[in-house]
Amino acid sequence: MECEFPTVNSNRDEMKEIFESVKTIAVLGLSPDESKPSNRVAKYLQGVGYKIVPVYPKEETILGEKVYKSLLEIPFEVDMVDIFRKPDAFDMVADACIKRGDIKVFWGQLGLVNNAAAEKARDAGMQVVQNHCTMVEHKAIFG
């Protein structure tokens, strides 16, 4: 797989606005394994007050929250997706976000970039962040 440089991305001021406005974050690829980055990041976000919604193909609960098999199964409003999936899955994620109609932020974790999917999400009205860790950025902005 070829690495991409993010051409569609938010800056630190926009990230601050994102963190101040979102309340519910669907974490796609949230592993039940506490040693995995997705689990550590989601636990941090949960600890600073966000409602975490695990999206993972297995498990019943992760971090005390009900697990959904897909983004489209979540029966309530979601403000943001925090994506811990390979970049080739981003197109499918963007399509699911567009189909839902309530996602405001499309966030690809550190090392993850798919500019075509990011453009699709942005064109549908979402703010886009790629190649940034939500936990690292939240700590940098809010201490």
CATH number, domain with residue 127? 3.40.50.720
Per-residue pLDDT of the chain (143 residues; tens, 9 = 90+): 456 777 777 788 999 999 999 999 999 999 999 999 999 999 999 999 999 999 999 999 999 999 999 999 999 999 999 999 999 999 999 999 999 999 999 999 999 999 999 999 999 999 999 999 999 999 999 98
Q: Is 36 within a domain?
A: yes
Q: Is 96 within a domain?
A: yes
Residue type present at position 109: Q
Structural domains in the chain (count): 1
| pLDDT, position 76 | 98
Q: Is 3 within a domain?
A: no
| pLDDT, position 5 | 78
Q: Is 4 within a domain?
A: no
Contact at 8 Å (CB) between 60 and 67? yes
Please tell me the pTM assigned to this model.
0.94
| pLDDT, position 9 | 79
Angle at 108 between CA 102 and CA 110, to 5 degrees: 155
Q: Residue 86: which domain range?
A: 12-142
| pLDDT, position 1 | 43
Q: Is 1 within a domain?
A: no
CA distance 117 to 122: 9
Report the candidate in 128, 136, 134, 133 with the shortest Cα–Cα distance to residue 50. 134
